[in-house]
A and B are shown apart, each in its own frame.
Chain A
Amino acid sequence: VLIVRPDWHDLRLIAFYVGRVVFGVGLLMLVPAVLALLLREWNAASSFAIGAGLAITIGRAAEIRLHSRDPLGWSHGMATVGFAWLVAPVLATVPLYLSGHYGGWIDAYFDGMSGLTATGQTLVQDVDHMAISVNVWRHLMHFAGGQGIIIVVLSLLAGGGGSQVGTMYFGEGRGDRIVPNVLHTARFIFTVAFVYAAIGITALWVIGMLIGLSVGRSLFHAVTLFATAFDTGGFAPMSASAAYYHAWSYEIVLILLMLAGAFSFAIHHRLWAGYRNELYRNTEVRTFALVLLGLAAVTTVGLITSGAMDGAETVFRKGFLTVISAQTTTGLVFENPRLFVSDWGVLAPAALVTGMAIGGMASSTAGGIKAMRLGLAAKGLWKDVRRVLMPESALVVQTYHAGRRRILHDEQIRGAVVILLLYLVAFLGGAMVMLTYGRWDLTEALFDSTAAASNGGMSVGVMTPEAPTPMKVVAVLQMWFGRLEFMSAFALIGYLLAIARGRT
Chain B
Amino acid sequence: VDGPSRLRRRLRLLSSRTRQLVAAAVDEAPSALAGVATVVIAAVFVLLLGFGLSFAAALLL
Task: List A residues at the B interface (Cβ < 8 Å).
Answer: 27, 60, 63-64, 155-157, 159, 187, 190-192, 194-196, 199, 252, 255-256, 259-260, 263, 268, 271-274, 276, 279, 289, 292-293, 296-297, 300-301, 304-305, 310-313, 315-316, 319-320, 324
Contact B32 A195 (CB under 8 A): yes
Contact B57 A191 (CB under 8 A): no
Contact B38 A312 (CB under 8 A): no
Contact A274 B31 (CB under 8 A): yes
Contact B35 A297 (CB under 8 A): no
Contact A63 B38 (CB under 8 A): no
Contact A272 B32 (CB under 8 A): yes
Chain B contacts for A268, CB-based, 8 A: 35, 39
Contact B46 A289 (CB under 8 A): yes
Chain B contacts for A191, CB-based, 8 A: 21, 24-25, 28, 32
Q: In whole angstroms, what is the CA distance A195 to B38 when docked?
A: 14
Chain A contacts for B24, CB-based, 8 A: 187, 191
Chain A contacts for B59, CB-based, 8 A: 312
Contact B58 A310 (CB under 8 A): yes
Who on chain A is nearest to B37 by CB? A271
Closest approach, in angstroms, between the C-beta of B57 and any C-beta of chain A? 4
Who on chain A is nearest to B13 by CB? A159
Q: By DSSP majority rule, is chain B's interface helix, strand, loop, or mixed?
A: helix
Q: By DSSP majority rule, is chain A's interface helix, strand, loop, or mixed?
A: helix
Chain A contacts for B8, CB-based, 8 A: none
Closest approach, in angstroms, between the C-beta of A295 and any C-beta of chain B? 11
Who on chain A is nearest to B9 by CB? A159
Closest approach, in angstroms, between the C-beta of A469 and any C-beta of chain B? 39
| Contact pick for B34, options A274, A297, A301, A313, CB 8 Å | A274
Chain A contacts for B21, CB-based, 8 A: 155, 187, 190-191, 194
Q: In whole angstroms, what is the CA distance A124 to B49 when docked?
A: 36
Contact A276 B38 (CB under 8 A): yes
Chain A contacts for B31, CB-based, 8 A: 272-274
Closest approach, in angstroms, between the C-beta of A272 and any C-beta of chain B? 4
Contact B25 A195 (CB under 8 A): yes
Contact B61 A305 (CB under 8 A): yes
Can you add 6 more A-B contacts, CB < 8 Å, to A191-B28, A312-B55? A256-B40, A259-B43, A260-B40, A274-B34, A301-B61, A315-B57
Chain A contacts for B49, CB-based, 8 A: 293
Q: Which 7 residue pairs of A and B lie closest in terms of their CB atoms, listed nearest first?
A: A272-B35, A271-B35, A316-B54, A312-B58, A320-B50, A312-B55, A259-B43
Chain A contacts for B58, CB-based, 8 A: 304, 310-312, 315
Closest approach, in angstroms, between the C-beta of B2 and any C-beta of chain A? 10
Centre residue among B29, B49, B50 by max chain A CB count within 10 A: B50
Closest approach, in angstroms, between the C-beta of B24 and any C-beta of chain A? 5
Which residues of B6-61 have CB atoms within 8 Å of chain A's CB atoms? Answer: 6-7, 10, 13-14, 17, 20-21, 24-25, 28-29, 31-36, 38-40, 42-44, 46-47, 49-51, 53-55, 57-59, 61
Q: In whole angstroms, what is the CA distance A311 to B55 when docked?
A: 8
A-B contacts, 25 of them at CB < 8 A, read A63-B6, A155-B17, A156-B13, A156-B17, A157-B14, A187-B20, A187-B21, A195-B25, A195-B29, A256-B43, A268-B35, A273-B35, A274-B34, A279-B42, A293-B50, A296-B50, A312-B57, A313-B54, A315-B57, A316-B50, A316-B54, A316-B55, A319-B54, A320-B50, A324-B50
| Contact pick for A259, options B28, B32, B39, CB 8 Å | B39
